[in-house]
Structure 1
């Protein structure tokens, strides 16, 4: 009798314990993780549309005139040479492939730049990684407020990258929606209003997302204002050569600031201008006062990189390095970059001409005065929704379109759709 009572009590305890385990299992470790905002996936909406003449203007990569991804011939040649060389797959150093970073610095700053002998530079995980390294460096060592001013609007990831690096993000005036152009007066006013010694992010060329760039004369005035306030300049140069077709013209702002005595930070990307999107090849550099400072800065950049990803990938860097360091490949690449830029410029002109031919009463000059892959059309979110629902034209609701998605075949239909929506 006593044994039966013990067994019953044990079974009851086991049952209670089992129920408790069920309760414990229900309370997941990640039960309190909130749902993030939904992705606005233009590509998925585009894929779901069965209309044969649909147009995708949301893609962030270059497309040829048939709307297909484009691999540069110089890249194919360089990659074949890299593979044929049967090189090993050993780790690169923390700052990457040195032949690549040296060539990337010359491309950005110019072969005769005074910055080259006092430059701390590291290969990065494309432009995003370069920004992240730079943000972390500023968060640790920038002597002023740990705040960085970015243009309004800016590339959507800028704020997220800098906030995750530990910086506070503020905005400065940049785009004037009434003129669909640069708010130059507002920009200068905000530069002058910021506390002395603040950090400012500038798009070197082909401003993303607006396609609106300052003129060289405006850049000179911006530089003078930055110098007068003692501000620090961080340039994001994701489109060198791809914007105008001229690597020197697109680097004007960076080189002018350095020539005027600014020790700038620079994020470079080779996604657009070499089509190395998935290879994730970029560089982050800081112009230092002298060799001694360069040595200290370089040591701290390595300390930042080491726990982030240890060292960068080598394959894409070897491709880019071979192109930049082989005269024949380099010249071929320059022609290809210009061809890509020229196609974008041609599509801008064709869209404007088609809208005018349809009798649109609106001024579309901003389409051709803007530069680079992206253009701000001036269309409202509601008009962009209408383009998608009624005309199968897909782009972001802020009115930005990727000009790379426009082709000789679809530009006429695109103009008709915009005309029906906008007039």
Structure 2
């Protein structure tokens, strides 16, 4: 037996030598090295930094007073309920997600009494958080939208990943004016002009609340003007809703823009995430909701979303969906969740006020710092390229965004 095994080994070694002499050149040797993601690069640098007073202002995640992640009490409670539920298994979810979850998520953003809910005109699917919703929405529009000019308009600035998501789905991206560095506020006249001058039936990505990265939101009156122009031009609203409730502490108030656009019959979809407002960052739980003109139209849209999702992820993950389904559908848990949201949003608002007080009253820092309390959400934005200062080049996110949570 040993002799036979040695013969086989010698034969394989000889064949391997022959193959190595004729093997083709490396197929991917021309692949360029991609730059690292700036935010995750900063997080990695923070973890390895040994400075005793280090603070990570780049992370897009809520932290407590000790700079530690905060698991919401309601999430802990829902997790325990799932652990104690003998019916919970690890089988596949439907391609479009957990039905009880997607239905509740739609009610949350549109309102339980919304006509589009009552008339079953919303095609809802579970996604891999907000990023997955943006990507799936982009894929759907790329394939089925009646384009005059295939292009999506993104606010300048916007969440950096928007610039990657749409081209990956075959949709070139352009920008529209949004932030005015002179006022550290909304460039509203230029925003309206961009809407008016864009080709009819253009797609505009809009941040539903707590604009990332600026924290500058339109007023209700300004949102109404935006909706009027979009309706007149036949534009399509691609809403990214990553901070409902987390922005102001009020789930209803933070959904105002989406609901007003629905009321005015502006065609739209909504990308939804529960990363921030439920602290479920790693569970990657989100949803895509596309409003259709009819119940039949919603069914057709959902069928195509199912085809796209099947090719992308086959089936969505179950745990985060089950957690949010419990929280959204159980009255007691839902009320507790709203309290947790108020805790997070309230602390961020208080942090803004205290930072403003320290800069203006205690430190007497030159300049106007009112933007700190005027902006909303978890980021403070000044729209300036980062200054390295004495600490080196890896201490901030390019563009002037800094976390205040």
Counterpart in the other structure of 1:105: 106
1:359 aligns with 2:357: no
Note the aligned Cα RMSD (angstroms).
1.8
What pairs with 1:340-419 in structure 2 (closer than 5 Å)? 340-356=344-360, 357-381=362-386, 383=387, 385-386=388-389, 388-389=391-392, 394-404=395-405
26, 29, 34: which one aligns with 1:31 = 29
Deviation of 1:331 (Å): 0.3
- Assess if the C-alpha contact under 8 Å between 1:376 and 1:401 holds in 2: yes
**Matched residue SS, 1:394:** coil
1:146 aligns with 2:150: yes
CA distance, structure 2, for counterparts of residue 344 and residue 285 of structure 1:
29
Deviation of 1:198 (Å): 0.5
**Matched residue SS, 1:273:** coil
1:245 aligns with 2:249: yes
Deviation of 1:387 (Å): 6.6
- Once structures 1 and 2 are overlaid, which stretch shifts more, 210-219 or 41-50? 41-50
Q: Which has the larger radius of gyration?
A: 1
CA distance, structure 2, for counterparts of residue 98 and residue 397 of structure 1:
40
- Assess if the C-alpha contact under 8 Å between 2:271 and 2:287 holds in 1: yes
Deviation of 1:39 (Å): 4.2
Counterpart in the other structure of 2:94: 93
Deviation of 1:394 (Å): 3.5
- Distance change >3 Å, CA 67–CA 61, structure 1 → 2: same
What pairs with 1:39-78 in structure 2 (closer than 5 Å)? 39-40=37-38, 41-78=41-78
Deviation of 1:24 (Å): 3.5
- Assess if the C-alpha contact under 8 Å between 2:181 and 2:382 holds in 1: no
Deviation of 1:18 (Å): 6.5
Deviation of 1:322 (Å): 0.2
Deviation of 1:229 (Å): 0.9
Counterpart in the other structure of 2:125: 122
CA distance, structure 2, for counterparts of residue 387 and residue 403 of structure 1:
22
- Assess if the C-alpha contact under 8 Å between 1:138 and 1:146 holds in 2: no
CA distance, structure 2, for counterparts of residue 321 and residue 47 of structure 1:
34
More helix by share: 1
CA distance, structure 2, for counterparts of residue 134 and residue 54 of structure 1:
38
Deviation of 1:388 (Å): 3.8
Residues 202-259 of structure 1: per-residue CA shift (max 9 Å, x gap): 0000111111111111101111111111101110000000000001111011000000
- Assess if the C-alpha contact under 8 Å between 1:367 and 1:377 holds in 2: no
- Assess if the C-alpha contact under 8 Å between 1:120 and 1:288 holds in 2: yes
Counterpart in the other structure of 1:420: none
Counterpart in the other structure of 1:418: none
- Assess if the C-alpha contact under 8 Å between 2:271 and 2:288 holds in 1: yes
The unaligned stretches of length 5 or more in structure 2 are 1-13
Deviation of 1:50 (Å): 2.5
- Distance change >3 Å, CA 53–CA 136, structure 1 → 2: same
Counterpart in the other structure of 1:8: none
Deviation of 1:22 (Å): 4.5
Counterpart in the other structure of 1:135: 138
The unaligned stretches of length 5 or more in structure 1 are 1-14, 405-423
- Distance change >3 Å, CA 218–CA 20, structure 1 → 2: same
Deviation of 1:379 (Å): 4.7
- Assess if the C-alpha contact under 8 Å between 2:230 and 2:266 holds in 1: no
- Distance change >3 Å, CA 387–CA 240, structure 1 → 2: farther
